[in-house]
Structure 1
């Protein structure tokens, strides 16, 4: 978020801070470079001056006419014009030719001829050529003094110098050039810094670093705190982000022991031992194909239900686009298991209420029949009719209540029996049915309710047996509760058994994948959650056999 009018550097936007920092760095680099160039230019000017005066001094000292003039009665008459001509040609400040005692033969100021040389001559008298910076009659200068030999004897000395003022003038000319280069480099650096800062400002939308840090900290806290799973995928289907809730909902955490699980168990995903999913293809996570297709779908998906190994997931996807370019998908996952269980219980209650309604309707019909028989003067037939109907209903109720100790399951069986009867299907509960001491009645409601519903539909689809029939049997066998639901329908194709407990498998032709194909998936999920297994066989019709350990893992 942009805050106009910021003046505190600590609250400047990241782009502005970067611009100032880059400008300071560029400025320091240019200043350091200019300083180094200045020192180098000064040293180069001194070296050039030293080389010039040394070369001129040695050239004069080696000239034959100088030795000849020194030996003449009036050396100044011959040497002064020569020295001035060389001085003008070479651009040096002065050329002084003197006797070994330091008496000048030449000088740029003729009035100083005959005077004593101002400077050091000791090293030259010892036969050395030396250079020094000394303040003489013309001011501070860089000078070279060298001896003049004639027959192996020092007959004169030559001093050639360039004043510091001349050297400084030459250095100033170089500095103007250096200043121009430094200014150009600074301008280019500032322009580049401004372009980088402008791009960064567009990318960060003018947010200050402190705000970016706070946003990142809040972002991290929210990702780990929300109970809703969040999965970000790039356009190639690779995981960009997966929060803790998504890892848990998709079973992507470290592998857990699976003792007691049946080999027929169908898993949603193989747990990954690595905690880092970033950069992995979603197709490599071991997720079901229909879920992978939803996650990478280029079209948005809303509230799609996918049955996992132990959960029912509601999946929403939203494609992300930037400048009309696909960037990937944002996927949210919600755990629908509890809601699905409550929905199943509600469906059971509704079915029970519906069965009570139908029974009330039948009871009213029977009551009218009894009253009519009494009015016709046949009380014995009226009593016999009423007693027979009562015994039939009571026999079913007594059998269910006596063999099923869990009230919710008893109500489910009574309701499904009445509902099946209303649809013209005989729902038979075998005499040896016993359901007692079983934990998790909600999952048993899911298993029995969906199996009975499917069996009733299958029985109605079978035309060979009249009336259609569904048989429910429950028993204990070797430490497990065995539930068996069979029907008189056409049966199940054995080739379809491996896929029938996954979401979307159905034999119905109406309703689409959302309306059908969920019941058996929920059955498989509940069975796996309790460490059991499901077997699909064939008798007169399909036979579903569920084994649930009485002591589930």
Structure 2
């Protein structure tokens, strides 16, 4: 059975039950109140009649009925009572609605207490049938000389109760109809609010959402329009150094993180992407996005937090992969050209020239490879440089590795990936600088040395140089003098950040029209 149907049936049964209870309870209360009011009225009339002087004096006359009957009947009609019966101590009637019953003994057997001086309300059966009576004693000189009985028939009371019950029934039916309509509206609103989903589907979606949030490597924090946290995943707990057992939901975002600007996103509705944000001195990249409901109204905002150092590591790995790929492609292209040259010489019958060409190429390649293996024994760094040599050959750039270079004593705790990123970005920057060189020669030189307490890396090019007005901004993220490359402005900034992380420093000297030299010094003792 669907949730919508369950809600309808449940609320219908509840309203029906409440309506029934209301009907029965209210009827009983009204019947009890009505009897009580009629009893009080009867007693009040009886007490009033008992205090009439004419009636008291009539008891001492020869024919009391002639005085009492007219008075009693007049009052009975005024108060709409069924009967007003007045009798003496012997319960002989002096008045009755039926004159033929005057002089007869009173019926009901409930006068004992009255003759003792009490005023009472009783239910008894008389000559007219079951009735509710109010009885009061008639006093003379402090003695009880008679009794006044004012009564209302039960049948008439029940008729009045039936009228009230019909009204209550009508009201109950109206309540039931209104309740059913309200139940229908509530059920429809609930169905619309939960997008027609069933409880099992909602539970599954909640579990799925929780699993997704916890599987995301980024910290996720969401707030409502009042700035209270509504969602926070485990990664966010770790970023904030807050145990998972500590409940963050319901807390104000400013109490957990200062200056998040999430509330500004709620107020402005403008999303923010890739903004740098510091938490406890650590840099994070954050995206802040407003949360909209199906009517397009802002109901909150969500922020994702990603450690900046992790992005740098990823960027480094991508840079390495790209460099390796470029090196392999350049090597393939270069050796393809040389193979075509050998093939052409053989086809022309110039076997001696082909052998000499092959020997020369082998000597050069083997000599350079032996130099790299000897002076730069680390296979990752050596292989990377070899790839850059091949790329330079393809780009028609004269790329030289200084034969005085030596990179044997590189401490194992220095990250090779960081070194390759530094060297690679400096070489790529130099290649870009000489690529559009007006000079016939496009020269780039690399010098590496591990002598002393520092690792020294120098990259020199004969490009156009850097204008002195740009010297202070050269390491600024996003700054570039190149107009054609959308990815420019990141390499040198990344180089500086990695060098600072390793505890080193970078300097450069440049002269317009002559070229640029970048020099990096990294302590062997490790970073800061």
TM-score by length of 1: 0.72
Residues 286 and 277 of structure 1, relative CA distance in 2, 3 Å threshold? farther
Partners of 1:375 and 1:155 in 2: how far apart?
163
Residues 193 and 367 of structure 1, relative CA distance in 2, 3 Å threshold? closer
Partner SS for 1:322: coil
Deviations 1:450-494 (A, max 9, x none): 22111222245677996534333232653x644343444424734
Deviation at 1:284, TM superposition (A): 4.0
Aligned counterpart, 1:291? none
Partners of 2:283 and 2:34 in 1: how far apart?
85
Residues 549 and 174 of structure 1, relative CA distance in 2, 3 Å threshold? farther
Aligned counterpart, 1:545? 520
Deviation at 1:151, TM superposition (A): 3.9
Deviation at 1:218, TM superposition (A): 2.8
RMSD: 5.0
Aligned counterpart, 1:427? 400
Partner SS for 1:414: helix
Partner SS for 1:154: strand
Partners of 1:409 and 1:76 in 2: how far apart?
138
Partners of 1:205 and 1:227 in 2: how far apart?
30
Residues 286 and 240 of structure 1, relative CA distance in 2, 3 Å threshold? same
Deviation at 1:16, TM superposition (A): 3.3
Deviates more, 1:232-241 or 1:187-196: 232-241
Deviates more, 1:164-173 or 1:274-283: 274-283
The correspondence for 1:56, drawn from 29, 45, 54, is: 45
Aligned counterpart, 1:225? 215
Partners of 1:400 and 1:102 in 2: how far apart?
141
Deviation at 1:167, TM superposition (A): 1.8
Aligned counterpart, 1:258? none
2:99 is the counterpart of 1:98: no
Partner SS for 1:434: coil
2:101 is the counterpart of 1:112: yes
Structure 1, unaligned runs of 5 or more? 1-5, 7-11, 256-272, 288-294
Partner SS for 1:128: coil
The residue correspondences of 1:30-429 to structure 2 (distance < 5 A) are 30-117=19-106, 118-225=108-215, 241=231, 243-244=233-234, 247=236, 252-254=239-241, 280=253, 284-285=259-260, 296=271, 322-323=294-295, 341=317, 344-355=320-331, 357-358=333-334, 361=337, 396-420=368-392, 422-429=395-402
The correspondence for 2:472, drawn from 495, 500, 504, is: 495
Residues 92 and 485 of structure 1, relative CA distance in 2, 3 Å threshold? same
Deviations 1:421-461 (A, max 9, x none): 55334434361431445464444333322221112222456
Deviates more, 1:107-116 or 1:212-221: 107-116
Residues 219 and 120 of structure 1, relative CA distance in 2, 3 Å threshold? same
Residues 139 and 20 of structure 1, relative CA distance in 2, 3 Å threshold? same
Aligned counterpart, 1:507? 481
Residues 510 and 391 of structure 1, relative CA distance in 2, 3 Å threshold? same
Q: How many residue pairs get matched?
A: 498
Residues 539 and 168 of structure 1, relative CA distance in 2, 3 Å threshold? same
Partners of 1:136 and 1:277 in 2: how far apart?
74
The correspondence for 1:470, drawn from 445, 456, 461, is: 445
Deviation at 1:276, TM superposition (A): 6.2
Structure 2, unaligned runs of 5 or more? 263-269
2:420 is the counterpart of 1:445: yes
| Aligned residues of 2:426 and 2:518 also touching (Cα < 8 A) | no
| Aligned residues of 1:142 and 1:161 also touching (Cα < 8 A) | yes
Deviation at 1:339, TM superposition (A): 8.4
| Aligned residues of 2:448 and 2:455 also touching (Cα < 8 A) | no
Deviation at 1:351, TM superposition (A): 1.7
| Aligned residues of 1:535 and 1:546 also touching (Cα < 8 A) | yes
TM-score by length of 2: 0.75
| Aligned residues of 2:326 and 2:391 also touching (Cα < 8 A) | no
Deviation at 1:49, TM superposition (A): 0.8
Partner SS for 2:138: strand
Deviation at 1:121, TM superposition (A): 2.3
| Aligned residues of 2:232 and 2:249 also touching (Cα < 8 A) | no
Partners of 1:319 and 1:431 in 2: how far apart?
61
Deviation at 1:413, TM superposition (A): 1.6
Partners of 2:284 and 2:133 in 1: how far apart?
98
Residues 136 and 484 of structure 1, relative CA distance in 2, 3 Å threshold? farther
Residues 361 and 548 of structure 1, relative CA distance in 2, 3 Å threshold? farther
Deviation at 1:319, TM superposition (A): 9.0
Aligned counterpart, 1:9? none
Partner SS for 1:49: helix
Higher relative contact order (CA 8 A, sep 6+): 1
Deviation at 1:43, TM superposition (A): 2.9
| Aligned residues of 2:474 and 2:492 also touching (Cα < 8 A) | no
